[in-house]
């Protein structure tokens, strides 16, 4: 038997597992993930802002691939990797492999300020999204319970650090909640007076997009009432606000969308195989997406620092991970057939970000547009990409309802003690 082990059931790992459905009967597939669910990360900000439920954008891994006959799903954490002896250390004991596909993705980076993590959570998991949702909703409860105008103002100020797609989406959605969803439901405060600040250290928001789209996104955010500041780095965060090079902002809610670091399994792989890591801790794989010296060990998705056969840098987006997963499987099947392995050529499907209701930017190579047509494009692509039919139908229905009414029904605060004065 040929044992193929996939670590991580994100976009890359799942695509690899599905591609192995038609592998020869001699192939066994094991998918290991520390969670029991796949998360559709591009829509996590909707869970964080109470528009969608966790299960709208997350699906049990077993539900997706558990009935594939050659595929076993294990809920475990991989703690170490030994490519020379072809074995993994996991919380369920050692697991051997003939081929290994590492697809454990990325997490938040606070650039050495680890104490900021508690103060300004990032958005990578369902747990993160629920934490952020609770913070946003509790801030309004605290403002309503307070009688001190400066405290009320602080509770009604939301700072989002980082102007990439996640930061832009969060800032726009919080502003929409404040101005529409919650309006009129409080007595001591007027939620439409909430302040949402987006801080970007670089010279423009959405830095990976064309410059005219950055300008469009910033304009769209400002039209929603978001205060957008570029070239403004955060120098300090505490539990009452944020310090920047140009002054302090008092805010009880600070959210982090600024830095990404590769998952720690990259470091373990580097120590065991000698493969280099880049500054973010990503594994520098060859153009075939394998670790130098170990052509049976693939690294795909956000964990890989990869350049394809044409010299194009593979970006950390879902299509990059999915294409990496398919390529790894194509190589394994070529080996089994004694054929030469194919080359990896990344196909750019474009990128997009939404700023809020009817506002978005889309860049598909030379094609660049913004506003309502971009928002419709963004919406169709994301609905279509969601895993599983039920999610697709309920997310569509939920969003249609939300669009018509501006309601957000997932506004539950759970696991929280009562407010102190």
What residues are labeled active site?
169
User: According to CB under 8 A, which one of 112, 184, 247, 311 is a site residue for a copy of itself?
Assistant: 184
Nearest-CA neighbor of 160 among 48, 246, 43, 263?
48
Query: Quick one: which H or E segment has residue 260?
Result: strand 260-262
Decide if 88 contacts 102 (C-beta within 8 A).
no
* Residues 292, 306: Cα–Cα separation, whole Å: 12
Binding mask 131-170 for a copy of itself (x = CB under 8 A): ------x---x--xx-------------------------
3-state secondary structure of 172: helix
DSSP conformation letters of 284-352: E--TTSEETTEEEEEE-GGGEE-B-TTSPBPPSSHHHHHHHHHHHHHHHHHHHTTPPPPPP------EE
Task: Return the range that interacts with a copy of itself (CB under 8 A); candidates 112-120, 164-172, 284-292, 412-420.
Answer: 412-420
Q: Taking the chain, what is the end-to-end CA distance rounded to the nearest angstrom?
A: 64
Nearer to a copy of itself, 50 or 168 (CB): 50
Write b or e for each residue in 143-153: b if 16 or more Cβ atoms lie within 10 A of its Cβ, otherwise e. bbbbeeeebbb
Q: Is residue 296 classed exposed, middle or buried when 0-12, 13-18 and 19+ CB atoms within 10 A define those classes? A: middle
Query: Quick one: which H or E segment has residue 242?
Result: strand 241-244
Q: Which residues pair with 299 in a beta bridge?
A: 102
Going 42 to 11 to 80 to 264, the CA torsion angle's sign is: negative
Based on the shown chain and the rule CB under 8 A, indicate whether residue 414 belongs to the binding site for a copy of itself. Answer: yes
User: According to CB under 8 A, which one of 21, 22, 24, 92 is a site residue for a copy of itself?
Assistant: 92
User: According to CB under 8 A, which one of 2, 3, 62, 342 is a site residue for a copy of itself?
Assistant: 62
3-state secondary structure of 89: strand
Binding mask 368-397 for a copy of itself (x = CB under 8 A): --------------------x-xx-xx--x
Nearer to a copy of itself, 38 or 327 (CB): 38
For strands 2-7 and 99-102, give the pairing.
parallel
Output the smallest distance, CB 125 to a copy of itself, in A.
Answer: 8
* Residues 420, 408: Cα–Cα separation, whole Å: 26
Binding mask 98-127 for a copy of itself (x = CB under 8 A): ----------------------------xx
The separation between CA 276 and the C-alpha centre of its own chain, rounded to angstroms, equals 24
Based on the shown chain and the rule CB under 8 A, indicate whether residue 185 belongs to the binding site for a copy of itself. Answer: yes
Based on the shown chain and the rule CB under 8 A, indicate whether residue 264 belongs to the binding site for a copy of itself. Answer: no
The separation between CA 116 and the C-alpha centre of its own chain, rounded to angstroms, equals 19
Based on the shown chain and the rule CB under 8 A, indicate whether residue 357 belongs to the binding site for a copy of itself. Answer: no
Based on the shown chain and the rule CB under 8 A, indicate whether residue 63 belongs to the binding site for a copy of itself. Answer: yes
User: According to CB under 8 A, which one of 21, 22, 85, 91 is a site residue for a copy of itself?
Assistant: 91
Based on the shown chain and the rule CB under 8 A, indicate whether residue 247 belongs to the binding site for a copy of itself. Answer: no
Based on the shown chain and the rule CB under 8 A, indicate whether residue 420 belongs to the binding site for a copy of itself. Answer: yes
User: According to CB under 8 A, which one of 2, 3, 74, 215 is a site residue for a copy of itself?
Assistant: 74
Output the smallest distance, CB 348 to a copy of itself, in A.
Answer: 32
Based on the shown chain and the rule CB under 8 A, indicate whether residue 66 belongs to the binding site for a copy of itself. Answer: yes
3-state secondary structure of 44: helix
Based on the shown chain and the rule CB under 8 A, indicate whether residue 60 belongs to the binding site for a copy of itself. Answer: yes
Nearer to a copy of itself, 288 or 402 (CB): 402
User: According to CB under 8 A, which one of 25, 26, 118, 187 is a site residue for a copy of itself?
Assistant: 187
Nearer to a copy of itself, 187 or 366 (CB): 187
Nearer to a copy of itself, 69 or 247 (CB): 69
Question: Contact residues for a copy of itself (CB under 8 A)?
Answer: 34-37, 53-56, 58-60, 62-63, 66-67, 72-77, 91-93, 126-127, 130, 137, 141, 144-145, 182, 184-187, 388, 390-391, 393-394, 397-398, 401, 407, 409-415, 418-421
């Amino acid at each position: 038997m040929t044992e193929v082990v996939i670590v991580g059931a994100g976009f890359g790992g799942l695509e690899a597992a599905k591609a192995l459905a038609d592998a020869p009967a001699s192939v066994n597939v094991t998918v290991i993930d520390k969670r029991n669910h796949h998360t559709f990360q591009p829509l996590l900000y909707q869970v964080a802002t109470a528009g969608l439920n966790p299960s709208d954008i997350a699906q049990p891994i077993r539900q997706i691939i558990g009935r594939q006959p050659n595929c076993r799903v294990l809920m475990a954490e991989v703690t170490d990797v030994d490519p020379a002896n072809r074995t993994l250390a996991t919380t369920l004991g050692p697991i051997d492999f003939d081929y290994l596909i590492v697809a454990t993705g990325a997490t938040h980076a606070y650039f050495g300020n680890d104490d900021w993590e508690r103060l300004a959570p990032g958005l990578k998991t369902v747990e993160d999204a629920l934490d952020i949702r609770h913070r946003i909703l509790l801030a309004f409860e605290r403002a309503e319970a307070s009688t001190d105008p400066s405290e009320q103002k602080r509770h009604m100020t939301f700072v989002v650090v980082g102007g990439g797609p996640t930061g832009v989406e969060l800032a726009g959605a919080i502003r929409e909640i404040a101005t529409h969803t919650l309006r009129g439901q409080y007595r001591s405060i007027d939620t439409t007076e909430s302040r949402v600040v987006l801080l970007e250290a670089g010279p423009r928001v959405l830095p990976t997009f064309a410059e005219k789209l950055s300008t469009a996104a910033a304009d769209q955010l400002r039209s929603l009432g978001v205060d957008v500041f570029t070239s403004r780095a955060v120098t300090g965060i505490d539990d009452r606000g944020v310090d920047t090079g140009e002054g302090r902002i008092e805010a009880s809610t600070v959210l982090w969308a600024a830095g990404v670091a590769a998952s720690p399994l990259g470091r373990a792989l580097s120590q065991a195989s000698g493969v280099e890591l880049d500054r973010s801790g990503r594994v520098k794989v060859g153009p075939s997406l394998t670790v130098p010296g170990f052509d049976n060990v693939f690294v795909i998705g956000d964990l890989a620092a990869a350049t394809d056969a044409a010299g194009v840098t593979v970006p950390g987006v879902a299509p990059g991970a999915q294409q990496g997963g398919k390529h790894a499987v194509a190589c394994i099947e070529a080996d089994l057939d004694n054929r030469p392995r194919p080359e990896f050529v990344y196909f750019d499907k474009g990128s997009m970000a939404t700023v809020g209701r009817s506002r978005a930017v889309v860049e598909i190579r030379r094609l660049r547009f913004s506003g309502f047509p971009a928002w419709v494009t963004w919406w169709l692509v994301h609905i279509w990409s969601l895993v599983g039919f039920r999610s697709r139908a309920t997310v569509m229905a939920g969003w249609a309802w939300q669009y018509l009414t501006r309601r957000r029904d997932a506004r539950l605060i759970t696991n929280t003690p009562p407010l102190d004065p």
